[in-house]
Amino acid sequence: MYLNLFDISIMVAPNILERISMMMRSLGLIKVFPLILGLLIYTSSACYAVSGMNFVDAEGQTGYYVDLNSVEYGDNYINANIAVVKGSSNRMYLYCMHFDLGKSTYQIAYSKVFAYDTKELLEYNEGSPIEHYYGPSSMMQQIVEYILYPERR
């Protein structure tokens, strides 16, 4: 005979739920629990969208973020994960980018497209060898400066 963990969880769960319910009643939290739970769910889902990302800037309903933990520095390049959140289309684009600092260009190693509200992966695209130029006042330049000059944040 084997032990089924699912059967154990069914036996234990009601006991745990009873204890939690009794504790909440004794502390007077039973009335505010739905509000607290809703608030926790709302804030955790909002934070999850760009968790680990640092806000760089926004243009209209589009926000730009960089994952500073993903940054790799080379002699004349930076590799980093960049997120672009478009509120108007409910999309989050996650890019793994290679910035060539000498040429002011970037390449996309790969990209992922998510539904912002559900975090469902909608697309995955391999990168392209095409180099894209970024100008001195472009958002990509701001991202590069955000990575290179942390004291300006």
pTM of the model: 0.65
The CA distance from 88 to 91, in Å, is 8
Is residue 112 within 8 Å of residue 121, measured between CB atoms?
Answer: yes
121-143: pLDDT as tens digits: 999 999 888 999 999 999 999 99
Average of per-residue pLDDT across 107-132: 95
3-class secondary structure, 52: coil
Residue type, 112: K
Q: Per-residue pLDDT tens for 24-64?
A: 677 766 665 554 544 444 443 333 445 678 999 999 999 99
